Structure 1
Amino acid sequence: MARNTFERELTELAQEITSMGDAIDSRLLVTIEALRTLDLEKAKLVAQSDDQIDRQEHEIEKMCLKLIALQQPIAGDLRMIAACLKILTDMERVADQCADICDIVAGGDFNGNSLTLSHVVRMMEEARSMFRRAIDVFISRDMEEAKAICEYDDVVDAMFSKIILEVCDIITQNPHNVMCEVDMIFITKYIERTADHATNIAEWVIYMENGEHPDLNPKL
């Protein structure tokens, strides 16, 4: 009976993690739309609504700590709970990146017809896809897909490098509008970090399954 209760609580934990992932994925979609259309109201909505994700994170942390304290899990069960705590941190940071991006959009003065902006939006879409895939892998435990997510981070990194070069070229040609371009650099960095967090989640899922925590996409 005790084991049945424990397994049910582990299932509830996984469901809560997934629910939080879905909420953050929705936030990523709104962030993409705010960035694409420079919609200040949508940007402000995301920038000012981080408390909900924080509360969800704290509740799930309590669930994890309660399971450790009361059930004293070992082996695979302990790995799952430990990995969930790590995944939780990465997910919350993705929500933070959304808030940071939208805070810049809400206070910035961007050119909606900018080619660089369109490239940034595309990079954001790729990072969001990585995050969505990582949450799905948490559910499916598909190891090959988890590894593929980590490898795809190279694509986002290449986009990051290209955009940074574009922005630097714009600053060189038009040094009178430096602050706007600096804001674009910050946004691009936040997007790059979002992809890194998706990679981390995929790596922690691998750890949950086989006890190894690989660094499948090391930064040089």
Structure 2
Amino acid sequence: MSPKKLFSLAIVLLVAGTTACAPVMREQIKPGDPNFAPVSFQELRQPAPVDGSIASSAPGFTLFGDKTAHRQGDLLTVLLQETTRSSKSAETSMSKEADIAIGNPRLFGRETSLGGLDLSIAGSSARSFDGEAEADQSNSLNGSISVTVSEVLPNGLLRIRGEKWLTLTEGDEYIRLSGLVRSDDIGVDNTVMSNKIADARIAYSGTGSFADANRQGWLGRFFNSEWWPL
């Protein structure tokens, strides 16, 4: 076997040894993540109300006002209408040439040599690089998800979080969302648009055999990564 083939085989074996366990070590996403779970029942306990003849301090009792989310534990429906599109292209070209020439050394104005040997040096080098990349990506997400108010900040902003899981034939699909909402952006029907959420974290993905079939293998990911020398 030629040295070139041996070198290529060594690289493949090295990559196989270091990344073979990658699919096993990949985190498995499951329902019930505490970062998206509703507020616990213990946190929603209210002191015993003291009823009066005109007003009451019981939770949810109000003579005037709407029923939109404004307290910890309230439900809020988020209308997902996300559309993104990006396009980018880059092109790089670089070249460099160098020439060097050193004649025989001169002593007292006359060229010298060593036993008649020519001591002059001449050389040249050239290198070039051409690179081109282009990306065009568009995404769209429409739907709705009901979340809970996990915290009411001192300035009145509502911190929301929640997740929705759909069990399908070949796996699960899920939507996870968290962020900050202004009470003024909540509609009378207790809904808010997703583009009104600050510090939004929206994830839509899936698990199971269908999602795995759309995932590139570890060897293909290596050849398309920056670690591949070619």
* TM-score grouping bracket, smaller chain normalisation: under 0.3
- Which one has a larger percent strand, Structure 1 or Structure 2? 2
If the length of structure 1 is used for normalisation, what is the TM-score?
0.25
If the length of structure 2 is used for normalisation, what is the TM-score?
0.24
